[in-house]
Structure 1
Amino acid sequence: MSEKKEPSVWQGFKAFLMRGNVVDLAVAVVIGAAFTNIVNSVVKGIINPLVGAVGTQNLDNYSSCLSSSCKGTHGIRLMWGSVLGATLTFVITGAVVYFLMVLPMSRYLARIEARRKAREGTKEVVEVTELEVLKEIRDALLTQQASGAGKR
């Protein structure tokens, strides 16, 4: 009996890297990192000034104090402005990704699927017609066979 050699760690790692999902994930991370700069620029250049028209331009300045005084490092400060800024960044990122990437891609894939189904639909009609012809041939052969058996 010959023992099967287990793949080396390097071969396993190489096989892992060559999977399509890993490459797609790597591309997504790189694009996401570049895309983050765009979204941050939109938030800092457009959203923050719009908020600044009402209050301060830096959302990090919005906070609340839970203790009697919050001077320097003393007191308990809730930095809800930072959370608001991060939430706005997340919502803007999600909207841009959805409207500029997901929605057009899903429409494109739906068109491709509709075309494929239309092509398959015409094939099914032909196949159904061929099936009907084959059934008729079978029935004719059975009828002919039955009449030939009666003559003997």
Structure 2
Amino acid sequence: MSEKQQPGVWEGFKAFLMRGNVIDLAVAVVIGAAFTNIVNSVVKGIINPVVGAIGTKNLDNYSSCLKHPCRGTGDTAEGIRIMWGSVLGATLSFVITAAVVYFLMVMPMAKFLARQAARQRAKENTKEVMDVTELEVLKEIRDALVAQRGNGHREG
């Protein structure tokens, strides 16, 4: 019995791996990982220094004391601290990263795809116009031939 189940499971697994969605997802993950380095470089090399020039570069040290006394750091810390600076820093990093991805990848790709779709529509419209024009020319030739035969141009 178990021998019959194993080929079925194996075949199901093979079918799962060979589906287009799995391959597309794998490619997207690899490209995403590579693109992460570019986004991180832009954020760390350009955006963070600009933000740092306006304010502070490190928000991790900002906190509020919930239970006094708040002294020390790490394992030796006393009291209860709310580290709102690290949450704010992570939120800003996310927003900046999302903006970089949107403006450097999503918007240009959307414009590119829209241009391609417009070209395709124009190509289809041109083909339809040519088909209609050819049909009209053939009708005109037919009408001219019928008119010639009707005006006594018959030979024979």
The two structures have a TM-score, normalised by structure 1, of 0.65
Report which stretch shifted further, 16-25 or 63-72.
16-25
In the other structure, the counterpart of 1:66 is 66
TM-superposition CA deviations, 1:50-72 (whole Å, max 9, x none): 313xxxx4211111111232123
**1:118 deviation in Å?**
0.4
Q: Report the equivalent of 2:79.
A: 75
Supply the RMSD in Å over aligned alpha carbons. 3.2
Aligned counterpart in structure 2 of residue 15 of structure 1, from 15, 18, 38: 18
Query: Is the 1:40–1:89 Cα contact (8 Å) retained in structure 2?
Result: no
Return closer, same or farther for 1:116/1:93 CA change in 2, 3 Å cut-off.
Answer: same
Consecutive unaligned residues in structure 2, runs of 5 or more: 143-156
Aligned pairs for 1:34-113 (under 5 A) are 34-42=38-46, 44-52=48-56, 57-72=57-72, 73-113=77-117
Give the aligned residue type for 2:65: C
Work out the CA distance in 2 between the residues paired with 1:43 and 1:32. Answer: 15
Alpha-carbon spacing, 1:110–1:34, altered in 2? closer, same or farther (3 Å): closer
- Does the 8 Å CA contact 2:64/2:83 hold for their aligned counterparts? yes
SS of the residue corresponding to residue 69 of structure 1 reads: strand
How far residue 15 of structure 1 moved from its aligned partner, in angstroms, is 2.8
1:108 Cα deviation from its structure 2 partner: 1.1
Following TM superposition, by how much is the alpha carbon of 1:44 offset from its aligned partner in structure 2, in angstroms? 4.8
Bigger strand fraction: 2
Provide, for residues 18-71 of structure 1, a one-character-per-residue CA deviation record: whole Å limited to 9, x for no partner: 72331222221232145324423446533234313xxxx421111111123212
**Which sections of structure 1, spanning at least 5 residues, go unmatched?**
138-152
Q: Would you say the 8 A contact 1:60–1:79 is kept in 2?
A: yes
| TM-score of the pair, normalised by structure 2 | 0.63
- Does 1 or 2 have the higher relative contact order (CA < 8 Å, sep 6+)? 2
Question: Alpha-carbon deviation of 1:125?
Answer: 2.5
> Relative to structure 1, is the Cα distance of residues 95 and 12 closer, same or farther in structure 2, using a 3 angstrom cutoff?
same
Over 3 Å counting, the alpha-carbon distance change for 1:15 and 1:98 in structure 2 is: same
How many residues align structurally?
A: 127
Matched residue type, 1:82: S
Distance change (3 Å), C-alpha of 1:99 and 1:119: same
Answer whether contact 2:39 2:101 (CA < 8 A) is retained.
Answer: no
Residues 124, 27 of structure 1: CA spacing in aligned structure 2 closer, same or farther, 3 A cutoff? same
